[in-house]
Homo-oligomer: A and B are copies of this chain.
Amino acid sequence: MTAVWQCQGVKSPAAPSGAVRQGNLRELNLALVLGRIAAARRPPSRAALAADTGLTRATVSAVVEDLVSGRLVTEADPTPRAGAGRPARGLVLADDGPAGLGLEINVDYLAACVIDLAGQVRHHTVHRVDLRPVSPADALSRLAGLAGRARADAEARGLTLVGAALGVPGLVDDAGRVRLAPNLGWRDVPVPALLAGHPPLTERVAGVPSLVVDNEANLAALGELHAGAAPGSFLHISGEVGIGAGIVLDGALFRGTRGWSGEIGHIPVRPDGPTCRCGGRGCLELYAGQEAILSAAGLVGADLPADRASTRLTELAAAEHPAVLRALTEAGTAIGVTVASVVNLLDLDTVVLGGGYAPLTGWLRPPVLAEIERRVLTAAWSPVTVRPATLGATAAAVGAAGSVVRRIIARPGGWLARL
């Protein structure tokens, strides 16, 4: 592995020129076939892939041979099938080839996980620590320690890490610099520079930059997308200390002009409401942020660590604690007003409640739906589904690792050329 140091933000590394040259032709079909294998519910045969993609069986065979010899695909046990005919050999994504490293820095924990090409979590560590009093350099140093152990573990399992993605609760620019992470107390933190001395995160494998820094809400949304249950377009709302959102449109994360989309926490709910620390007035965060809910529920000063607060809320809600139920209804109403705006604007049919909201979905959903019903022009014809996220609390780390392997699936050429 060449030790070319590179680290960057969310912009795609090499802008695809769009030219279809002869060489690209094979690459496109490699990606096409690999993508279908990844998307299939059960291991497809070469013949099924040919029928699915429109390519001939001969071409599919050739493409699959490349994929198998490149350790991206393996043949599964023959899938039993009814009727006559030679039995098909099922194709599945390899579980001993490239893998992705997902990292997360949040207010009260660090996390690292490794996901193989098939999407299985092969390693997962969470290190609970309050990072607010810790300097960014120190926090990243500890994270690099976690990453090193994750890498060693992955390699012991025969996996090859091809890159890492790091989620942070804040705004990240093109260069991987954290411009602002209010709840972490970070401002203008040059993550790439601070990680320069940590080899596990600064190598370049198969042409892929070793580390991409991204917003945790974006990565959590990607995780939910690849977890499969979500459709092509949805809004994923992460309710943590702040409120972030990831917007998935037609199967791809929409990042906006500068990568700062999804700042749903500062959408005005009551334009004349109280002043928010962002400078605006009546932001959603003031009505549905963790502090707002705790305060409305009369739990302020209970001195709960951030990760306990959500659990405690769920317990009290389950016990039908009146103030908590009221607080959740209020928060749900505020979320509903905001979601109504989003649905009017983007015509999405699915809203996923993630992060701290996920376990509270049962109580948040009714007021959210009520506001949608009332305020969305097209609500009568197009129902909106509100459902909890399927990934747990560390969805961002899982999504981060998933984004790395997805990059291999979307563009296998780089990995295959590495050999």
Contact (Cβ within 8 A) A345 B267 = yes
Q: A341-B268, A378-B171 are in contact. Are A256 and B346 (CB under 8 A)?
A: yes
Q: A179-B381, A257-B382, A279-B374 are in contact. Are A17 and B347 (CB under 8 A)?
A: no
Give the interface centre of A53, A249, A340 by most chain B CB atoms within 10 Å: A249
User: Please, which residue of chain B has its CB at the minimum distance from the CB of A54?
Assistant: B19
Give the CA-CA distance A48 to B36 in the complex, in Å. 37
Give the CA-CA distance A377 to B180 in the complex, in Å. 10
* The one of B20, B179, B249, B377 that contacts A20, using a Cβ cutoff of 8 Å: B20
Give the CA-CA distance A346 to B246 in the complex, in Å. 10
Residues of A in contact (CB 8 Å), total 62
> Residues 268-280 of chain A: 1 if any B CB is under 8 Å from the residue's CB, otherwise 0?
1111100000111
Q: Does A263 contact B (CB under 8 A)?
A: yes
Nearest Cβ distance between residue A82 and chain B, in whole angstroms? 27
Residues of B within 8 A of A259 (CB): 347
Residues of B within 8 A of A376 (CB): 263, 266, 280
Q: Does A133 contact B (CB under 8 A)?
A: no
Contact (Cβ within 8 A) A271 B377 = no
Residues of B within 8 A of A347 (CB): 255-263
> Residues 62-78 of chain A: 1 if any B CB is under 8 Å from the residue's CB, otherwise 0?
00000000000000000
User: Please, which residue of chain B has its CB at the minimum distance from the CB of A232?
Assistant: B257
Contact (Cβ within 8 A) A377 B278 = yes
* The one of B20, B180, B281 that contacts A32, using a Cβ cutoff of 8 Å: B20
Residues of B within 8 A of A80 (CB): none
Give the CA-CA distance A29 to B19 in the complex, in Å. 7
Interface residues of A in 342-356 (CB under 8 A from B): 342, 344-349
Contact (Cβ within 8 A) B54 A17 = yes
User: Please, which residue of chain B has its CB at the minimum distance from the CB of A235?
Assistant: B345
Nearest Cβ distance between residue A26 and chain B, in whole angstroms? 9
Q: Does A28 contact B (CB under 8 A)?
A: yes
Contact (Cβ within 8 A) A55 B377 = no
Interface residues of A in 325-344 (CB under 8 A from B): 337-338, 340-342, 344
Q: Does A86 contact B (CB under 8 A)?
A: no
Give the CA-CA distance A100 to B279 in the complex, in Å. 48
Q: Does A254 contact B (CB under 8 A)?
A: yes
Give the CA-CA distance A315 to B186 in the complex, in Å. 50
Contact (Cβ within 8 A) B279 A348 = no
Q: Does A41 contact B (CB under 8 A)?
A: no
Nearest Cβ distance between residue A240 and chain B, in whole angstroms? 16
> Residues 17-61 of chain A: 1 if any B CB is under 8 Å from the residue's CB, otherwise 0?
111111001001100100000000000000000000111000000
User: Can you give 8 A-B contacts (C-beta < 8 A)?
Assistant: A20-B32, A233-B257, A249-B249, A255-B347, A257-B348, A258-B347, A261-B345, A280-B374
The 6 nearest A-B residue pairs measured at CB: A256-B347, A19-B54, A280-B375, A261-B347, A260-B347, A263-B344
